[in-house]
Amino acid sequence: MGVVEFLFEENSKVLVEQNGWSRAYAEGYADGEAMRRLGQALQSYASVGIDEWAQGVRAGYFERQRPHSTSERRIEA
């Protein structure tokens, strides 16, 4: 097992433990995140598949960013 594979395995384990995700969903999330960061197109199966891996890929690939203004919003009376 190479360094990249080891890091991928460890990342998947952390996602499972921290979020309570299934192993397949966590591996899909890591795959999707890697595709997004590398600028790769989403695979056709990942874009339409209904299994946990494909759902995880889409979640990692289409990561949503929260606007900073929402967390700093102040309510004045």
Query: 69 lies in a domain?
Result: no
Query: 75 lies in a domain?
Result: no
pLDDT band at 65 (very low <50, low <70, confident <90, very high): low
Query: 77 lies in a domain?
Result: no
Q: Residue 41 corresponds to which tokens in the numbers above?
A: 């197109």
How many angstroms separate the Cα of 73 from the Cα of each of 4, 32, 67, 76? 40, 31, 11, 10
Query: 11 lies in a domain?
Result: yes
Query: 12 lies in a domain?
Result: yes
pLDDT band at 71 (very low <50, low <70, confident <90, very high): very low
Calpha distance 46→57 (Å, rounded): 6
Domain containing residue 41: 3-62
Q: Residues 9-60: pLDDT tens digits?
A: 777 888 888 989 999 999 999 999 889 989 999 989 999 999 999 999 999 9
Query: 71 lies in a domain?
Result: no
Q: Domains in the chain: how many in total?
A: 1
Higher pLDDT, 39 or 76: 39
Query: 14 lies in a domain?
Result: yes
Predicted local distance difference test score (pLDDT) of residue 17: 87
The reported pTM is 0.72
Of 52, 71, 66, 72, residue with least CA distance to 12: 52
